[in-house]
Structure 1
């Protein structure tokens, strides 16, 4: 067989190896390499898994609100003041009538939890960080991941339990690494996720600046 013919046979063989090996390559990560598989993600819906199933259980009497470990996850009313204290960013619950602008916005100061929760209700992702736990370089890296990204916002949250927390309604990712690939994977998965977002498609603009 000529060298030319051997080369023709090897090209499809190499392509088959690239597509079936499951290893990261020119075309990204294999499915089994999903960063969320090993990430520290908390699902506050519990055994119901998502907002659709939880609301169904509440409506048909299968579950009483007081029996759920996190009843706030199915609480959507507007209030003028929050009754709960937060050591970490809240992932849902009663909230202020006006949302925080969340179309890739970077806030240099802490924002009001009540406005942020309303943004989560609209399907936003809220990336927070403890400024005492990260370098300026780390913070800059996080900013690049949020800037101009629709349905996302970032702000400091001093004293939170993890250097970086990414929050969606009913879901949170905890990590100490600003370069963690799970941050983008979480945002891609839960921003505007119809299974976990109370009001997907609602605006993230024209709110609190």
Structure 2
């Protein structure tokens, strides 16, 4: 009869070593998976933050779109260089024929019974003052320009008008400034389409407090030719 002279602990050492080796392999594999998962999550966070930065107003503006602006804050700011008339004292009678206005473009006064369509309309030719004034009475902003205005500014202003209900735009050669903005009883001359006063004027006076007939339509009127 033969027997193994090794102790029981020595007899089990081979099995223990095998089990320990297997446990180490499992532990290494799990550690690798955890590290890979953390690395992937970190990459996701970096990409997510990067995409968020790309959506900030400054970067959006670089794509040609206007940055998001606080309309209420703009409306509260005074418009530098703005000229004002007492809106309540400007006559508002409906008359036939031409009217001689004290300023050009006119900021109010007697006018034709038909208003110009002003739901973001850009007119390529001059319009009749008597019809445009009626649109001002309904709360529209009238953007005008003459031959001194840069083509790029005209295009930018046209884009703004087209996206703004209760506004209209037309050439006006007789005006003093290259670019002018007019509302009922309000008027300002600006340097360019990027002048901050453009955004201020729109924020304050498109259907603003100066509007004699708030709620009146800017559609259903006439076009430039009547």
Q: TM-score when scaled to structure 2?
A: 0.63
Match of 1:203 among 213, 217, 220: 217
Per residue, is there more helix in 1 or in 2?
2
Match of 2:186 among 163, 171, 175: 171
- Cα contact 1:87–1:159 (8 A) shared by 2: no
Match of 1:188 among 203, 208, 214: 203
Q: CA RMSD in A?
A: 2.5
Give the structure 2 partner of residue 136 of structure 1: 151
How far is the alpha carbon of 1:34 from its aligned partner?
Answer: 7.5
How far is the alpha carbon of 1:145 from its aligned partner?
Answer: 1.2
Secondary structure class of the residue paired with 2:169? strand
Partners of 2:205 and 2:73 in 1: CA distance: 19
What are structure 2's unaligned runs of at least 5 residues? 1-66
Give the structure 1 partner of residue 135 of structure 2: 119
Match of 1:92 among 103, 108, 116: 108
Q: Classify 1:34/1:76 alpha carbon distance in 2 versus 1 (closer, same or farther; 3 Å).
A: closer
Q: Classify 1:183/1:27 alpha carbon distance in 2 versus 1 (closer, same or farther; 3 Å).
A: closer
- Cα contact 2:145–2:171 (8 A) shared by 1: yes
Secondary structure class of the residue paired with 2:131? helix
| Number of corresponding residues | 157
Give the structure 2 partner of residue 147 of structure 1: 162
Question: Which stretches of structure 1, 4 residues or longer, exceed 3 Å deviation after superposition?
Answer: 26-29, 31-38
Q: Classify 1:83/1:183 alpha carbon distance in 2 versus 1 (closer, same or farther; 3 Å).
A: same
How far is the alpha carbon of 1:37 from its aligned partner?
Answer: 3.3
Matches within 5 A, 1:99-110: 99-110=115-126
Match of 1:43 among 78, 84, 99: 84
Q: TM-score when scaled to structure 1?
A: 0.68
Partners of 2:118 and 2:81 in 1: CA distance: 24
How far is the alpha carbon of 1:176 from its aligned partner?
Answer: 2.3
Give the structure 2 partner of residue 11 of structure 1: none
What are structure 1's unaligned runs of at least 5 residues? 1-25, 46-50, 55-70
Partners of 1:35 and 1:175 in 2: CA distance: 19
Give the structure 2 partner of residue 22 of structure 1: none
Partners of 1:145 and 1:184 in 2: CA distance: 9
